[in-house]
Structure 1
Amino acid sequence: MAQKSTRFLVLGGTGSIGYAFAQTLLRNQEHVTLLVRNRQKAQKLFGHWPTLELVSGDAQDEELLKSVAAEATHIFHGINYPYEKWKHYMEHVTRNVIEAAAINKATIFFPGNIYNFGLIDVITENTPANPTTEKGKIRVQLELLLQQAATQGRCRVINLRLPDFWGPNVLNEGIAPVFRGALTGKPMPWLYRNDIPHQLVYTPDAANAFYELSKLPLQQPYTEYNYAGEVVPSIKQWQAQIAAAAGTEPRYKVYPGWLFRLMGLVAPGMREISEMGYLWQNTILLDDSKLHQTLPNLHRTPMPQAIEETLEWFRQYLKDE
């Protein structure tokens, strides 16, 4: 367990990875502050924890964020926006996070992704950035901002690069319909191709990796790790496993690329998905040898257990909808 003086500020705590990280911290009796825009949603998600403090507000408000971060030793930057809002929101909020972290030279935890590299087979921590999309260019810029701030001594940064998320409270339109479909016997959708290997990370496992890294003395101002999660033989096989655990017959639906190109003519969100189509048409793998050398005892939840835990969360979620 981390030192008693450690205090965590979690941003994006009602989202996918932020929720998992906050839950991990609370189970380990860490002091956690959540800055949330929707207090009622946060209260419903988390319930009562003796070491949890909820603060209502928006991380786009720099002065509020600095006030909330005044005692934080670690800030989890789990803020995300719909694709079409990245350009105007992500850089601004990341600069706010850096300013807030600079107060105490806090450590920023940043969940990176694979958009920085374009189409490539394997990504290591030494793979040079080569973004081929607007979202990839934005992600590279965000990481450069964080790296520069850390190099200047304003904060510390741990960038843990992750593949696609799945798990409890992962409600994006790539994952949630899979679990809804499995529980209701409806088709489980996917984009472009469901017949090739795909890398996925169970969010509680990613959260645990972040937490284990928080216990280590930082050797460098800016440190980058990959966390590979698990490679499934195909999304179709993974969905069949989920359906079997849910007690339903697997039904599949694959959305073709032309559909997003067509819908993109009138819907910005669909246009953004079309630009990222290469992620679902190819197998892109993170190599996490460095992380396992640093954390040799890092635990990964067995797939059957992870599926059952996620199904149980979605059963309750669907009941409350």
Structure 2
Amino acid sequence: MDSEMNGEPKVRVALVLGATGGIGGAIASALVAHGWLVRGMARDLEAAKRSGVDGVEWCKGDAMSASDVLAAAHGADVIVHAVNPPGYRKWEELVLPMIDNTIAAALANGARIVLPGTVYNFDPELTPVVRSGSPQTGRSRKGQVRIALEKRLKDAAPQVPSLILRAGDYFGPDARSSWFTQAMIKPGRPLKAVTNVARGAGHSWSYLPDVAEAVALLLEKQSALAPFEDIPFEGYWDRSGRGLIDGLEAVLGRRLAVRAFPWWLMRLASPLVPFAREASEIEPLWRHSMRLDNERLVSLLGKEPRTDLIEALRATLGSVGCLPERKG
């Protein structure tokens, strides 16, 4: 990554698959800020250009098409695989073919794959602390798919190097498909009430810009990275399961009405409603504490990027229209 040609620094090229999504867009923005030439692939170019991710060169393509991914990855040093099936649909059918296409494109270009990892791979009852290389014990269907996906990356190394940065549930600007924006708060109106999803246990949260900055900084350390890296990102460890709610009240300067998330309804509706089924399967992640140990990340970077919680929550609420209107 640091090689030069004719005395000029080599232009570093990253292809970001899923750049119109929350984590993909955040990583694309961070890489642009760090001087990368960032290419994004999207099925709808006009929508991609309106996504608010600045500095990205867009090309048309579908992550399910091996030829599209290969063409978009031409000359890439890094491929960020931040693409997921829309909603909770067809995970078993779509996730593994998409990573296979990315692996093939990375092999053809000598690129490293970056994967935003999840905690679905783990059973919190068996793994209360997730470390680099922790055995993957997840039993949900989504967890099993993620385990298979990461095994493909591990098996592809060292011919195809990869970096998994594993984080908890996201919040932050543009974290649209997240438990924070889809379950805890109602975007588009001043915040008066919040839903507590946790069931009396601690929970790991990650602020999108911090995760994206960590990816960009880790890619500056290519020579120190192993061919296969599985790195947990600690983020904000909410010990009580109420920490984000306390933070929201601090941002607003007042108490909020707090409702409990209807887990009972998810179980009741799970046979008929896909979201309810998937939510029920990952309920243990909210019922049992599971913390991410960032020892490997700190050994590489010295410290983890960490925005003050109140500042991060204020930026998040502002981005989704939940702050009170200013008078005057």
Q: Which runs of structure 2 are paired with 1:88-237 in the superposition (5 Å)?
A: 88-119=93-124, 120-151=127-158, 153=159, 155-172=160-177, 174-177=179-182, 178-180=184-186, 183-191=189-197, 193=199, 195-216=200-221, 217-237=223-243
Shift, 1:237, TM fit: 3.6
Q: Distance in 2 between matches of 1:228 and 1:169?
A: 20
Q: Distance in 2 between matches of 1:317 and 1:105?
A: 46
Q: Is the CA contact 1:192–1:277 (under 8 Å) kept in the aligned structure 2? A: no
Greater displacement, 297-306 / 236-245 = 236-245
1:36-64 deviations in whole A, cap 9, x for unaligned?
23333322232653xx2011221111101
The residue number in structure 2 matching 1:305 is 311
Q: Tell me the TM-score normalised to structure 1 length.
A: 0.90
SS at match of 1:280: helix
Instruction: Specify every segment of 5 or more residues in structure 2 that has no aligned partner in the other structure, as ranges.
Output: 3-8
Identity %, equivalent residues: 29
Q: Is the CA contact 1:10–1:18 (under 8 Å) kept in the aligned structure 2? A: yes
Structure 1 residues 246, 203: closer, same or farther in 2, change over 3 A? Answer: same
Instruction: Specify every segment of 5 or more residues in structure 1 that has no aligned partner in the other structure, as ranges.
Output: none
Match status 1:21 vs 2:45: no
The residue number in structure 2 matching 1:258 is 264
Q: Distance in 2 between matches of 1:257 and 1:105?
A: 46
Q: Is the CA contact 2:119–2:168 (under 8 Å) kept in the aligned structure 1? A: yes
The residue number in structure 1 matching 2:297 is 291
Q: Distance in 2 between matches of 1:172 and 1:283?
A: 22
Shift, 1:11, TM fit: 0.8
Give aligned pairs, total.
314
Among 31, 51, 56, the alignment partner of 2:37 is: 31
Q: Distance in 2 between matches of 1:197 and 1:176?
A: 19
Match status 1:272 vs 2:278: yes
Structure 1 residues 191, 179: closer, same or farther in 2, change over 3 A? Answer: closer
Q: Tell me the TM-score normalised to structure 2 length.
A: 0.88
Q: Distance in 2 between matches of 1:22 and 1:156?
A: 19
Q: Distance in 1 between matches of 2:186 and 2:250?
A: 13
Structure 1 residues 149, 260: closer, same or farther in 2, change over 3 A? Answer: same
Shift, 1:318, TM fit: 12
The residue number in structure 2 matching 1:63 is 67
Q: RMSD across aligned C-alpha pairs, in angstroms? A: 2.4
Q: Is the CA contact 1:188–1:239 (under 8 Å) kept in the aligned structure 2? A: yes
SS at match of 1:184: coil
